[in-house]
Structure 1
Amino acid sequence: MEELELKTRKFSFTFGVLFGVFSIIFSLMLFSADLQYENGALVQIIPYVLLATAIILAMVQYKKANSGYLNLKHGMKIGSLTAFIGAIIAVLYFYVFANYMQPDFLDNMFEIQKQQAMEANPSLSLEQINQGIEMQKQFAWIFYPAVIFMYTIFGFVVGLITGLIMKKEKSAY
């Protein structure tokens, strides 16, 4: 049983790092195309597609290495841990990006949000919008653990669904 535990960690780590690297590459592509402030649906969906792909590949490789067997418990472990490791890497990269590569990133992001709020809510005064932005700045730190939590939950769900589809248990005989 301990050998199986090591195997799930190994696959989760490998594919979690792979997801983290592809997340960084995607972010650098956005940055090089000057699209780092883009907030469209496609830009938000692509990281989740990358993560789901990494989890599914990790589970397929695990099942191959485990003589074609995969139980639901290991599927959920692989999904959650792969997502957690990838999210840690992505969050660390974002921290470096927002504080060292482009130190004015968050200020620019808040300015864009301010403009969008003014367009969406013309009845709000500039003072009210500024108060809202200042409150967002105070709670910007919550972004880091929130991303890790959301990715881990997403990984758990993908692991659960993929585990249900791919599950093949060893017979008791």
Structure 2
Amino acid sequence: MEDQANSKSIIVNYGIILAGAGILLSVITYAMGAHLKPHWSISVISIAMTTALIVFGIKKYKELNKGFISWGQGVKIGVGICILSTLITAIYQYIFMTYIEPDFMQQAMELQNQVYLDSGMTEEQIEAANEIGQKFQSPGILAAISIIGAAILGFIISAIASAIMKKTEEETY
């Protein structure tokens, strides 16, 4: 039971820290006026923060578990951190798109339409793309896509980190 309490508290603590860092990065990007067309470095920073907090979470669990951690325990912690962080961030994004910048999706669509025009798409093709895109603009669908993406990213990062850091009691004999 102590194992479960340790993993839950680590997931909650590091998930909240990751969400806070992500929201802070989003607010900074918005304040700089780069929220519609963020620089590639924002993605790099975001992935680096995610990787670091997953690794720190797995390492903390291993420390609390007397130096032992299985691959599965590490993956569970990493994916849990990412999913919790994404749930919290999705709430922030909903507030952002509803109250702070209610025309955000419209602005993003206009920007994307310009990219379509520049690439040589016809008006009919752009309209068809917009119809498909609008189906994915509801907060619920955006949150679901984000959570699935976070689970996949969390799995990849934590699978690698867990494979490196794993140490079971059987390996010590």
Could you tell me which amino acid in structure 1 is paired with residue 15 of structure 2? G
Q: What secondary structure, in the 3-state scheme, does the structure 2 residue paired with 1:140 have?
A: coil
Q: Which residue of 2 aligns with 1:135?
A: 132
Corresponding residue number in structure 2 for 1:5: 4
2:146 is the alignment partner of 1:147: yes
User: Quick one: distance in 2 between partners of 1:160 and 1:125?
Assistant: 44
- Report % sequence identity: 24
Q: Would you identify which runs of 4 or more consecutive aligned residues in structure 1 move more than 4 Å?
A: none
Tell me how far 1:42 sits from its aligned partner. 2.1
Q: Which amino acid aligns with 2:76?
A: K
SS at match of 1:103: coil
Partner of 1:166: 165
Distance 2:106 2:67 in 1: 51
What is the alpha-carbon distance in structure 1 between the residues aligned to residue 102 and residue 165 of structure 2?
44
C-alpha displacement of 1:18: 0.5
Deviation at 1:99, TM superposition (A): 1.1
Output the CA distance in 2 between the equivalents of 1:95 and 1:81: 21
Aligned residue pairs: how many?
170
Let me know the Cα RMSD of the aligned residues: 1.6
Aligned-pair CA distance for 1:39: 4.1
Distance 2:56 2:13 in 1: 10
Question: How many Å separate the matches in 2 of 1:17 and 1:3?
Answer: 21
Q: Mind listing any 5+ residue stretches in structure 1 that lack a counterpart?
A: none
Q: Which amino acid aligns with 2:11?
A: S
Offset at 1:3?
1.5
Q: Is the 8 A contact 1:75 1:159 kept in 2?
A: yes
**What is the match of residue 16 of structure 1?**
15
Q: Please give the TM-score of this superposition, normalised by the length of structure 1.
A: 0.91
Give CA-to-partner distance per residue, 1:67-89, whole Å, 9 cap, x none: 11111111011011011101111
For the 8 Å contact 1:79–1:157, the answer to whether it is kept is no
Matches within 5 A, 1:9-48: 9-48=8-47
Structure 2 residue runs of 5 or longer lacking an equivalent are none
CA contact (8 A) 2:29 2:38 kept: no
Partner of 1:67: 66
Quote the offset at 1:110 in angstroms: 0.4
